[in-house]
Structure 1
Amino acid sequence: MLITFRSKAGGDVLMLAQHAQPLLQAAGKSVADGVPERGVWTAAQLDAAIAGLESAIAGADDPHAAHNQQDDPDQPVPHPVEQPVGLRQRAYPLLNLMRQAREAETEVDWETAAPW
């Protein structure tokens, strides 16, 4: 399922639900029953949501650190597309949108895409 994050302060951020779920949870939203169909962070809630995402990023393992340490220097370096995507990379677009919304004193909302 596709999730669209929107704000008047910036462009839409699209993300698969399975990737959005840990970000929503880190930003203070309940995802116990899965990703809610709709939701919002009000301008007043953005500081706490941003802090939660930044904390989750700081505590997350960097998959590139282990992936880039090769025991054999003769092995070819993997192509960037083959490297794992970490929480930091997944969270960046949403975190950037939240920061823009905070500066503009507006909200960030999300909704799931309609089934085709």
Structure 2
Amino acid sequence: MLVTFKSKAAADVVMYESHAKPILDMLHKDIKRGVITAAESADAVALIEKQIDSSKAHEAAEALERDVHAHHNANGDDNGHEKIEPVTFSARAYPLLDMLREAKKGNYDVLWGV
């Protein structure tokens, strides 16, 4: 299922529900329908930025763990594995974060599920 975020401040942002849910849970918002008011946008931006910083700190450790598992599997060293390139939290959250920043500047709300 898709979630479409709307605001007069920016173009619509469309995300899969499974990707939007962690962000909305962090903001204590319902996935089905809701609003981040202009007054709430500053706090929402700060929370998302904090989570992005936190997730970036763990990216190197996660990449190392994936590499170790790929090279030291049950069959021994595997040099022919494909590189795993996961989409990071920051990449998934950035369009909504950008929308929230613009909404904050223009004093607009961000809505979804309407």
TM bin (shorter chain): 0.7 to 0.9
Q: Do the aligned partners of 1:63 and 1:85 also contact (CA within 8 Å) in 2?
A: no
Structure 1 or 2, whichever has the larger Rg, is: 2
Give the direction of change, closer, same or farther, for the CA distance of 1:64–1:88 in structure 2 (3 Å limit): farther
Query: What is the TM-score normalised by the length of structure 1?
Result: 0.74
Q: Which has the larger share of helix?
A: 2
Contact 1:63-1:84 at 8 Å conserved across structures: no
**Which runs of no fewer than 5 residues in structure 1 stay unpaired?**
none
CA contact (8 A) 1:2 1:17 kept: yes
The alignment yields a C-alpha RMSD, in angstroms, of 2.5
Aligned to 2:49: 54
Distance 2:59 2:98 in 1: 19
Aligned residue for 1:94? 96
Change (3 A) 1:63 1:87: farther
The unaligned stretches of length 5 or more in structure 2 are 72-78
Tell me the TM-score normalized by structure 2: 0.75
Q: Residue 44 of structure 1 aligns to a residue in which SS?
A: helix
**Deviations 1:39-89 (CA, angstroms, capped at 9, x unpaired):** 00110000111111111111113279717x9689x86984xxx51011000
Q: 1:10 to 1:65 in 2, by over 3 A?
A: same
Aligned residues: 102
Of all paired residues, the percent bearing the same amino acid is: 36
